[in-house]
Amino acid sequence: MPLYEFVCDDCQREQEHLVRGEETPECEQCGGSRLTRLLSVPAAHTHGGGGQLPQAPPPGPCGGSCSCFPGG
């Protein structure tokens, strides 16, 4: 059975449950049945952030009809 992560809507406790099919487990803390399954995300944590943004290519010659050249 797959192991899923849940968060309780009532007490916001995060927990893991083995679920089968469409079964919804109960909260291990408050016993509530309003659990929201968290999406299992791949390990894509970035430490420190600072992702590299794609940079726009430098402006090049666009032709005589383009106004990107001053005085053109």
Where along the sequence are the contacts to Zn ion (CB under 5 A)?
A: 8, 10-11, 27, 29-30, 32
Residue 50 · residue 44 · CB < 8 Å? no
Q: Closest CB to Zn ion among 10 and 69?
A: 10
Q: Closest CB to Zn ion among 32 and 72?
A: 32
| Residue 39 DSSP code | P
Closest CA to 40 of 17, 8, 66, 20: 17
Q: Closest CB to Zn ion among 16 and 72?
A: 16
Nearest distance from C-beta of residue 10 to Zn ion, angstroms: 4
Residue 12 · residue 29 · CB < 8 Å? no
Nearest distance from C-beta of residue 22 to Zn ion, angstroms: 20
